[in-house]
Structures are given as C-alpha cells and as structure tokens.
Structure 1
Amino acid sequence: MCDTSKIITSTQCVIVVKHHTYPICETSINLLNYYFYYEIIISNIMYWTGCMGEKIKKENRVQVYQANDLVEAIYEDDLTATEHKIIRYAAAKINKSPDHFPNVSFTVTEFINAAGISSKSYHSKVKKMAGELTRKRIRIKTEDEEGWFPWFKGIVYRSGMVHITFNDLIKPYLINLTEQGRYTKYSFPTIGNMQSPYTIRLFELLQQYAPIGKRTFELDKLKEHLGVKDKYKQYGHFKSRILMRVKEELDDINVLTYDFEEIKEGRKTAKIKFDIKITDSLDLGGNLKEEDIKVFLEKARPLIKEYGYDIPNRQIRAWTIFGIDELKAVLEDMQQYSTNVGHVGAYITTILKSRRKDYLKSASKINAKDEKTKDIIMRYLNESKGTIPPVPDWHIKNKLVGRFTKEGYSSEEFEKVWEENGEYIYNVINHKAVR
C-alpha cells in the first residue's frame, strides 16, 4: 500500500472525511485563499498519482500455453527461429488476456526483454518477417477434424510496435486450456536464446512427453513436425544437421535434453526413439541450496555486466556449480583473447563445462575419499599455474598445511593427505606430471 499522507500532499488538495475538512498544505491556502471542498476517494488518489514512490513490481515470467494438438501440428514451411518466437510470444500474450482475442500488440523491445536476449537486429528481423508469416500454414489434426490454416490473419509493424490478428480457427488451441486439460506449458525465456528453429520445435515436442521420459517418432513424421519434410533426403544429413545440433544447443541451455536411438527396418532408419532428460538449471549436484544460488547471482550479475555482457538470470543460475572464480577466469580469457561469439551464454556454458571436465579428470588422480580434500588441492594447483620450477617439496608442503589448517584439518589428517598426494602435487607444480 502507498503512504496516503504523501499522496495527498503531492496532490495539494483538501480531503473530506465524514464532513470534516483537513487542509493538506498551507501553501495551497495562501495561493488559493480558500479550501477546495471536494470529496476524494483514496483509491482515486492512488490511481491519479500513480502511487508515487511505490516500486513497480516486475511482471511474472511469460508462460506459453499450447494445446497438445497444436504442439503436434505439421508445419508446411520451414520457419525461422524468430518466426517461432514471435508466434509463441503472441500466444503467451493472448493467453494472458483471452478477452482481447484475436488482437494482440507489443513492442519489439518488450519482446526482446521477455526473451532475455540482447540483439538490436531483432527490429529489422521482425519487420522483415511480418509479411511472410501470414502466409505460412500449419496442419492440425484432432480426433474430429483436420485442416490447414495460417496462424495469423495479419501482422502490422509500425514504429517499433507489432500488431497481430490471430486466425479465428486457432482460438480453441490457445484459449482456456487449463479447463480443457491436455496442454503443454513452458516459460517463454526458455526458447528466447535458442538459435535454431528446430531446437524450438523439438524442445516443444519432447517437453510434452517429459513426464514420461521417452518418445518415439517415425522419421518422416518427425521431419513434418519440424517443417523439413522434403529436405535432408539422406538420414546422415538429418542426423548431423538437426538431431546432433539441436542436442548440442539444448545441452548448452540446460533445461531439457535427450539421447536418441535409431530404430531400423532392414538397413534403413525408420524411427527415432528419444530418451528425454530434464536438466533445469543444470545439474547442481543436489548439494546447492537456493541460498547458494542467490549468493552466486549477487556476485555474478555485476561481474558479467562489468565485462559488457547481458545474460538472463536463468542461465547464470546454471553456472552456480562452477563457482564465481571459474566464471571470472572464463570472462578474463574472453576479454584477453577478444573472443567474439554470437551466443555468449552458450559459449560460456561450453567453456565452463570443458574446464569442469578437465578439473574432474585431474581431481581423479588425487588420492582422497572426500571432495573437500580434492578441492583444496585442486585450488592450490590452479593458483600455482605459471610457477617457475624448481619448487622444493618443503615449500609446497608449508603452503598447503596452512590451507588445510584453515579448513579445520588436524596435523595428523594433513600428514596423511601429504603422504598420499605429496609426490603427485610436487610433480605437477614442477611440470613433471600431467594434470
């Protein structure tokens, strides 16, 4: 609630409550020389003043709802990723305000913010595709009917605003779905950073079956769902250019991914069986609490901004398991080598995973049952990179004992660690062993 006394002061008027008048400001009396006797309802004051000083709450993340029959649609044409995103965002907006159907409007900037992307080129992309998208059709087949029709009657782009009119035939597949059941839902920013249109479509088709964990498609049917029925005649091309690339992108985004199995009829691949894996916010190892993620976000957000990048929180959350030091190291390398990539978030995820893989490989050579011991040694080895040998073992041991003591290890516990790992640590620092 707003502080009404502040609101009234800001309006510089008199409020009448139960026939008693209360002057708000002496300046008003001197200027006007009389009181305005006007009955003011507090709610109206709040409306007209806009509750000055009150913070505006952020909108909830935009949710996309589609009837399962719509998710299963056959695409006549090969849509671009931008076209898919515009369709889904418009669908999310109309679902939130069903009374406005078939009309929905939004700014390109609003669309970009909701998607969690940072690309000025989207204005020209949206303007270009406005005329094309009204001609592209989908086929929806239900138990009762089957038909081809476009998503929209019309799209108008004007001064940064997108005005869309939906096709009336699509209304049952977008509106009041929670009452009907049989719908698929996901957060719109999930597809915001997807670069490939096939990633968006396959994500939706698998998201629908995520609770089951498996889904099998006839190969030709899958191509129709993706809008590539007449493309990739050779299965090997379809596998490398779609199945493998989509998997790679989904692995980077870390919401849902898959493994797949080819089912053959003779020597020909006839079906694809997907093993669906939910990986929301990456695999945080089961050890990280929400408080850990919150602390990481508080450190990571300003750090990323300092390096000039704009990355959605959902993606930053997924990096919690790697730690702030690893993230900083990756950002420093990108700056040092002037790394220029189109999909910054996906690139950072790939590098963090690669570094993590190297870390685990090195850690596996350390003789310790608990991860804490391995982590102390690995951090010391990482910080010792670039050390010019020879470094005597007593110097290394003295450095390490301080770290272990600080972490609560007794002298006996440290001696055991050194006995089992001292030689390996010495050899790594003196470049006599491969990490």
Structure 2
Amino acid sequence: MSSKFTKSPVVVQSNKLVESRYILSVNEQRLVFAVASMIHPDDVDFYPYEIKIRDLAAILGIDLNNAYKNADRITDQLMQRVLVIPEDDGPLKVGWVSSCKYNNKKGTISFSFDPHLRPYLLQLKRDFTQSKLSILAQFQSIYSIRIYQLLKQYKKIGYREFGVDELKEILGIDKKKYSQFKQFRQWVLNQAKKEFEKKNEAGFPQCDLTFKLETIREGRTIARIKFIIIPLKYQEALPFAKSGQLLPIEPDRTEDQELLEKLEYFGISALRAKAFIEDIGREKIEQILDYYTKCLAADKVEKKDGAFLAYLLREQITGKSKFEAELEVEVVEQKKIEQQLKKKEEERARRHEEQAKVSLGKFQSLSPKEKGLVLQAFRENLVELGNKTMVKDFDQAGIDNASGAMMALFRLFLREQYFDEDTD
C-alpha cells in the first residue's frame, strides 16, 4: 500500500493509544502518523505501508537530496522507540514498527507496524480519536502534537482535566524538568496554544480547536489543570504540500448539529439522537450529558456503548434530585435578576457621569461672580458634611488645583444641587 497525499488523510487511533506514554521527535511523530493515515478502515491486518522518498522528504521537511541519509537515521531511531499502553491486566510495552524496508528500484520505504498494535489501529468501532494529518503535520513542538490529540479526544465533551504530574508523564517529560509550573505553562502549554491559533495568510487558523486554561490548587501548589476546549473555524491545507494548497472552509454548525454529534459520539444512533433532541430539548440533554461525562470520569459506567446514556435520556436523569433541580432554577433566576440590577446600575452610573460633565461645562460658562456663589455653596456643603480636611484643602488650593477626590465631590455637588435636571 503506497502513499498518495492528494487529499486530507485521517489518523484513527484508539483512545488508549492516544493516552499512552511515549517520546517521539516531531519528525518521528509525523512519520508514524503519515503511515497510520494509510490504514484503511476495512483492514483486518497490517500491511507493509509504502511511502515514496519524495513524500518522505516533504513529511520530514528536508531536501530530497538528503532524504535517504535522514530517513536512515530517523527509521533507526523509530525502531528503538518504545511506547507504554495502559491495559486492563497491566501496561504493554511495545515498539511502533517491526520493520522498515528500503525499495531501491521503486524509490520507496515500506513500514510495518508491530502486530501488538492491531487492537489500537485496526477495525476501530468505538473509543477512538480521529485527527487530520494536515493539522498534526503543521505543529513544530512535540508536545503540541500530543496535547492536540488529547484535547481532540474530548472535543465533543468540551473540557479535559489532568493532574500536572499525570500530563507530564503522558507527554514524556521528566519530573525534574519544568519543576516550576510557570515554566511548564510557558514552554509547553502556551506554546501549544500559540500553534493551535496560528493563522494562514487568509487570516484563518489551520487547527480546529484551541483552549483556555484553568488551574486548580491544592494548598499553595497548582496540582491540576483544566483545558476548556474551544472549537475554531479553520481552513485546512493539504499535508506536506509545498504550495500550501488550501481546502474549502468548513461551514458553521448549528447547536443542534453539535449536540447530535455529541450523542452519536457516545453511542446514540443519529435517528434516536434526533428524537431525543425533539422530545427533551437541548438544555435538558446538555445537563444529562454533563452528568454522564462525570460518571465516565469517575469510572462508574460499565457499558460504554450508549446503553447507559440512552437510559438516562429516556428517564431524563440529570443526577439531581427534584429539590436540587428546583434550587438550580432559582439560582439561575436569581443570577438573571442580579445581572439586570447590575446593568441598571451601570447605566445609572454612566448617565450620572454624563450629567456631571454637562454640569461642569455649565459651571465653566458662568460669570466670575456666579462661580464665586457656587463655590461658596460648595464650601458650606463640605462644612455640613463635617469634612474638615476637605474644607482646609479647598481653602488652600481652591477648585482649580483640587485633588481628584475633591473634584469628584464638586462634580457630584454640581449635578445634584444645581444642574441635574434628570433625577432618579
């Protein structure tokens, strides 16, 4: 099976493989994923997957004249790489490829995956993650590639949480490296975010997601991080194409379409998902999905084929008691009232500020005698307030050289006592 990158290939991996522990250089990851993208969904076994030297040079970003030399070095390194896959009865340590064969007459290299990887790359029907090779190929950091796949796995859920040490272990980062969280954030997390949001000449990102980071402390230490996954409207380029050929921009999806995809992702058929959306409504389903994902995270779901989620949807179980649900509605309504009051207060403050400016303008237009009367009234007001310090400052500096606090009081005085026609 030979390479032919004329459209955007897709890399499909089991979630366990996505979450496995390994260290590969950027070029090694590009090579592995380029080969993996050649696997057909109907393949029941691995074949020798051929890549042309010309395509290999594009994958590795090297000159064609040096392709053989560099390929020899990288394939040697790749055959020594070990990944650790978590399995139910204990971790599996396995290499990525079992052989690399140079075909001099054809100008190709054939790669064979290790047979132990069959359950993680072949005939995947559930618990898998799809990534477009064009997106993976553009990243320059080894960690950006891994973080992207970890977030892609949870894109439909909308967030993903890790312990800091747990994420470092998955990424293959030594515990002593980036010992301070700010270093880890700067050189790993921020770099990934920067690469996810990088735009092409047309002003579009070439990645389909980015993230906002939330930190969770245990005492004074940042122990956990939560990625809030944000979908991006992106424009895709063919992988390794020197011309940077762009593919059409994917159209925006409606909220119902995104919800439909979430339900299908968790094992609900498209037909049943549409029926649930019509019968229950989007808001209620989002609550049920939130409860379901919490059950998944707590490893409380035995059947992950959609059966348990279908039960929750049929019974409309959100994980909350009737009292909790009613209380939640009350909290939401209270927040709405608070937001309305806050908006009114902001509008009131803005109106008063505008009135104060007009009032000050009117004061400036008065004759010296009229100004003197206003200032005398203002001084009497300060005396009535019992603010001796302000009275002393006013007597010494006058209003022209008044402090900020004094000027604020004067503007308020003008608006309320003389020129404020719009009373509350």
Q: TM-score scaled by structure 1? A: 0.49
Task: Name which one, 1 or 2, has greater alpha-carbon Rg.
Answer: 2
Q: TM-score scaled by structure 2? A: 0.50
